Amino acid sequence: MPLVPGPEIPGAQLSGGVYPNGIDTTYWWEYGPTTAYGQQTPLALAGSGTARVSVGATIGGLAAGTAYHYRLVAISPDGTTAGADATFATTGNPASPGGPLPPISRTLAVAITSGSVQLDGAINPPAKSTTWWFEYGPSGAYGSESIRQTMSGLGARPVNVRLFGLAASTTFHYRLELQTQSGLYVGPDATFTTKAIVRARPAGLTLSTATVAQPRSIAISASGRLETSLPGACNGIVEVAIARGADILSLRSVPLRADCTWSERVTLGRGRVGHRVSVLAHFIGNATLAPLAARRTVVSIP
């Protein structure tokens, strides 16, 4: 899957070529001020043909008067291939404090919770009509984007979106993108990490037992209630174990009922239980409630 990077065109218009070799192939451009790159264009499809496919991208949010490295990268079921490093230089003088802002000058993640975040950005529209959005996802391939919005007029201004339904305790990549009639502007990659879910702790778990003796078996009943005041929180599993010393004779997963009660009945042979067993009940927790340490009671066998 050879790559043929083409010459750069002033204005950061990148061009090159991909040979899919009859296999579905995806490509992107990596670029940045060093050979570590650090930024990349959105993934695009080169198809599955056998001829060279000419590809290109317009990148923005660059600093004036600055040298940039770039390369073309393609991936297919055969593997990943990176083209040779090349360079271009933007025109103008390097930015100075108080000078004009680039099209994308800042992004920031704020108000981070276990399932949501607000992404802020600063845009200096490069055209009278500019569409903008944020890409985001659990890797540098992103995979999701916010609703695209269009602004009119020139002049730097802030933008922001609120994202919901994110996985807790997860690091997400994001970047701001602009689209105008003249091309696509891609901001730098950044990350944020959602917070862990903080679960409430139940007030307690009650445990009651009863036995019914038969000539050759013993039926042990265990029941109780999860003590919580949170509505709709009574779901999940109570693990019920019956043990003789260090030996577990029975281990059951018992679902909580909607009214927070639970119950289970276990029948064991008399030869297994002896004269005394322990009954342990342990709530394993759910999305709302934290787990509880096991409750234990000793049952004498009649």
Query: For residue 116, what are the domain limits?
Result: 104-193
| Cβ pair 228, 214 in contact under 8 A | no
* Residue 46 and residue 68 in one domain: yes
**Closest by CA position to 133, among listed 172, 105, 161:** 161
In a domain, 199, yes or no: no
In a domain, 147, yes or no: yes
Domain final position from 37, 54, 89: 89
* Residue 115 and residue 83 in one domain: no
* Residue 173 and residue 246 in one domain: no
In a domain, 94, yes or no: no
Task: Report the run of H or E that residue 273 belongs to, with start and end.
Answer: helix 270-273
Read off the CATH number of the domain in which 10 is found. 2.60.40.2150
Q: Tokens at residue 230, please?
A: 């949170």
In a domain, 253, yes or no: yes
* Residue 134 and residue 85 in one domain: no
| Cβ pair 32, 40 in contact under 8 A | no
Read off the CATH number of the domain in which 149 is found. 2.60.40.10
* Residue 166 and residue 248 in one domain: no
**Chain centroid offset of residue 86 CA:** 33
Domain final position from 193, 225, 255: 193
| Cβ pair 288, 233 in contact under 8 A | yes
In a domain, 98, yes or no: no
Number of structural domains (the chain) is 3
Domain final position from 45, 66, 89: 89
Cα–Cα distance measured from residue 141 to residue 53, given in angstroms and rounded to the nearest whole number: 22
Task: Render each residue's pLDDT in the chain as its tens digit; 302 residues.
Answer: 334 333 333 357 788 999 999 999 999 888 777 887 767 777 888 999 989 999 988 776 666 667 788 899 999 888 888 888 888 777 655 555 555 667 887 788 988 988 999 999 888 888 889 999 999 999 888 999 999 999 888 887 888 999 999 998 899 999 999 888 877 888 888 899 998 887 888 999 999 999 998 889 999 999 999 999 888 889 999 999 999 988 999 999 999 999 999 999 999 998 888 889 999 999 999 888 989 888 999 999 88
In a domain, 198, yes or no: no
In a domain, 96, yes or no: no
Cα–Cα distance measured from residue 293 to residue 161, given in angstroms and rounded to the nearest whole number: 41
* Residue 174 and residue 257 in one domain: no
* Residue 179 and residue 216 in one domain: no
* Residue 273 and residue 295 in one domain: yes
